[in-house]
């Protein structure tokens, strides 16, 4: 084991320690003194210098320069940061915020620690190209970590804060006094009714479109136009669906009244591209020989599709539909002008009456936070909504995994 590797290992350990410490303080918003930061930066710069000098002078390969430069940078940052006023006031630029030293120092420690650790891989691997590879992998692991961290935070917070509000009463009663008491029972039922109705509307449309695209016409102008339309529909913002639902379904079809059916129709338009695309994918995954074999036996195209192609692709189609419904269950914008009331709609009884729904319920409760004591109820609503939506997604994922193993 050579001296170079020991030094490189030390740089990694020290830098990673500083980065973790910085992150911890950033997360907890705790105070961090000037001397703490200067001390930890000094630690990094000393090992960097050791490594840089070792390479630059003792070994003939003059590759220690980045380490020397970085060591100098960190050292001067440690020395100069004493001149940063506490807190950093941006008001002279008409930006009304003050950045406290604790935040600035923690962020700087986090970043310099991460970069120092990154630099340590190359000397560790003898400056071969493997070193660059390990360094790059380390960056990818970090991005993965930074992606999973918010997900963890969101789910952790909703579960811990929402659990307290979920009681039997909350699950089985209508709201009382603007959400301060009572529960979300009609909203749960409303959401479930809405997505069931959406499923009934969207399945034939989506699967029919997919069958046309995958089985009947593969090329040509019509297909290109249809496919572009599906893609545009997929990218269309949900608020635009809401506007359209209001302008067409509510104002023209239903006489200016919000109702369950108008909401379900709007959500069907929203989920149509998702169902179409996954159904098309499922149909395309059926091997072509199967179709040829059936056609060669004298079956018509429609018989082939019905008997040979549709049954094995059913799980895939179902997965896509369920995923689309999961998205629909969580949407607020398309239904807020077309189908929902905050309170008073009661349990859904007719297609032509408005309903209550969980996402809109959460929005309304949020608007009341600060005026009334509803934050606990809001967290609980968020938890129930999350459980329903993720439960639907979970079903879809399980369906897909089963289906994948079969082929």
Partner 1 sequence: MFAKIQELLEKESSCERTDLPDRVKMKVQDFDLWYDDIQALKSVDMDVEENKVTAIIGPSGCGKSTLIRSLNRMNDTIPSVRTEGKVWLDGYNIYDDVTDCVDIRRKVGMVFQKPNPFPFSIENNVFYGCEVNGMDVDKDKTVERCLKQAAIWDEVKDRLDENALSLSGGQQQRLCIARALATEPEVILMDEPCSALDPIATAKIEDLIDELKKDYTVVIVTHNMQQAARVSDYTAYMYLGELIEFGKTTQIFENPKKKSTEKYITGRFG
Partner 2 sequence: MPKEFEKVISRSSKDKIVQAIFFGIATFSVLIISFIFIFLFIRAYPAIEEFGMGLLSSDWNVSRNEFGLFPALYGSIFIAIGALLVSVPLGLGVAIYLSEIASNKIRMILKPIIELLAGIPSIVYGFIGAILLGRFLYDTFAMRGVNSFLAAMLILGIMALPIIISLSDDAMKSVPKDMKDASLALGATKWQTIRKVTIPGAISGISSAVIMGMGRAIGETMAVMLIIGSVMKMPVPFFNIFDTGNTLTALIAVHMGESHGIIISVLFTAGIMLFTIVAIMSIISDILQTRTKEKFEGKR
Window 367 to 406, contacts with partner 1 (CB under 8 A): none
Q: Which of 194, 274, 345, 389 binds partner 2 (CB under 8 A)?
A: 389
Q: Shortest gap between Cβ of 18 and partner 1 (angstroms)?
A: 20
> Which range touches partner 2 (CB under 8 A), out of 49-57, 218-226, 282-290, 347-355?
218-226
Of the candidates 306, 308, 307, the one whose C-alpha atom is nearest the C-alpha of residue 288 is 308
2's contact among partner 1, partner 2, none, with CB below 5 to 8 A by partner kind, is: partner 1
Binding mask 81-120 for partner 1 (x = CB under 8 A): ----------------------------------------
Instruction: Kindly state whether residue 403 participates in binding partner 2, applying the rule CB under 8 A.
Output: no
What is the bridge-based pairing of β-strands 181-182 and 175-176?
antiparallel
Instruction: Say which residues have a Cβ less than 8 Å from residue 106's Cβ, sequence separation at least 6.
Output: 22, 23, 25, 26, 32
Q: Which of 31, 130, 169, 292 binds partner 1 (CB under 8 A)?
A: 130
Instruction: Please report the sign of the dihedral spanned by the C-alpha atoms of residue 213, residue 214, residue 216, residue 219.
Output: positive
Q: Shortest gap between Cβ of 358 and partner 2 (angstroms)?
A: 9
State the Rg of the chain over Cα.
30
Report the residue number, 6 or 155, with the smaller CB distance to partner 2: 155
Cβ–Cβ under 8 Å, residues 31 and 102: yes
156's contact among partner 2, partner 1, none, with CB below 5 to 8 A by partner kind, is: none
Beta bridge partners of 64: none
Binding mask 311-340 for partner 2 (x = CB under 8 A): ---------------xx-xxxxx--xx---
Binding mask 314-333 for partner 1 (x = CB under 8 A): --------------------
- Among positions 335-364, residues that touch partner 2 (CB under 8 A) are 336-337, 359, 362-363
CB atoms within 10 A of CB 249: 22
- Among positions 35-74, residues that touch partner 2 (CB under 8 A) are none
Instruction: Kindly state whether residue 292 participates in binding partner 1, applying the rule CB under 8 A.
Output: no
Instruction: Kindly state whether residue 100 participates in binding partner 2, applying the rule CB under 8 A.
Output: yes
Q: For residue 99, give the 3-state DSSP assignment.
A: strand
Distance in angstroms (rounded) separating the CA atoms of residues 309 and 304? 7
Q: Which of 61, 129, 218, 406 binds partner 1 (CB under 8 A)?
A: 129
C-alpha distances in Å from residue 77, one per residue of 37, 105, 167, 324: 10, 10, 54, 51
Of the candidates 334, 328, 335, the one whose C-alpha atom is nearest the C-alpha of residue 238 is 334
CB atoms within 10 A of CB 27: 11
- Among positions 190-209, residues that touch partner 2 (CB under 8 A) are 204-205, 208-209
Distance in angstroms (rounded) separating the CA atoms of residues 318 and 372? 42
Q: For residue 175, give the 3-state DSSP assignment.
A: strand
Q: Site residues (CB under 8 A) for partner 1?
A: 1-2, 5, 9, 124, 128-130
């Amino acid at each position: 084991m050579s001296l170079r590797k020991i030094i490189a290992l030390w740089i990694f350990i020290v830098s990673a320690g500083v980065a973790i410490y910085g992150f911890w303080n950033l997360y907890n918003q705790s105070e961090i003194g000037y001397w703490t930061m200067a001390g930890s930066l000094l630690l990094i710069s000393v090992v960097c210098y050791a490594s840089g000098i070792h390479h630059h002078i003792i070994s003939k390969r003059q590759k220690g320069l980045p380490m020397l430069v970085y060591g100098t940078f960190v050292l001067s940052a440690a020395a100069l940061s004493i001149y940063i006023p506490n807190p950093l006031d941006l008001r002279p630029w008409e930006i009304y915020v003050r950045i406290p030293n604790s935040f600035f120092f923690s962020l700087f420690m986090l970043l310099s620690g991460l970069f120092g650790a990154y630099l340590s891989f190359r000397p560790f691997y003898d400056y071969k190209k493997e070193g660059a590879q390990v360094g790059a992998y380390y960056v990818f692991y970090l991005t993965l970590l930074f992606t999973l961290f918010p997900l963890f935070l969101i789910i952790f917070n909703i579960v811990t804060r929402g659990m307290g509000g979920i009681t039997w009463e909350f699950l089985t009663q209508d709201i009382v006094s603007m959400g301060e008491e009572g529960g979300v029972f009609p909203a749960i039922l409303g959401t479930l009714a809405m997505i069931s109705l959406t499923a009934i509307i969207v399945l034939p449309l989506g699967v029919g479109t997919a069958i046309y695209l995958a089985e009947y016409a593969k090329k040509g102008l019509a297909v290109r136009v249809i496919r572009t339309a599906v893609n545009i529909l997929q990218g269309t913002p949900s608020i635009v669906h809401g506007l359209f639902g209001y302008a067409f379904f509510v104002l023209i079809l239903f006489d200016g009244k919000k109702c369950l059916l108008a909401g379900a129709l709007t959500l069907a338009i929203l989920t149509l591209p998702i169902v179409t695309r996954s159904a098309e994918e499922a149909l395309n995954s059926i091997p072509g020989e199967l179709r040829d074999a059936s056609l060669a036996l004298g079956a018509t195209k429609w018989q082939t599709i019905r008997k040979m192609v549709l049954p094995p692709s059913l799980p895939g189609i179902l997965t896509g539909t369920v995923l689309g419904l999961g998205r629909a269950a969580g949407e607020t914008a398309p239904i807020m002008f077309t189908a929902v009331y905050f309170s008073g709609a009661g349990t859904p009884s007719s297609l032509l009456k408005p309903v209550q729904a969980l996402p809109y319920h959460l929005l309304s409760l949020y608007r009341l936070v600060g005026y009334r004591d509803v934050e606990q109820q809001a967290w609980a609503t968020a938890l129930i909504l999350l459980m329903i939506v993720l439960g639907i997604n979970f079903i879809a994922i399980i369906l897909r995994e089963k289906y994948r193993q079969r082929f």
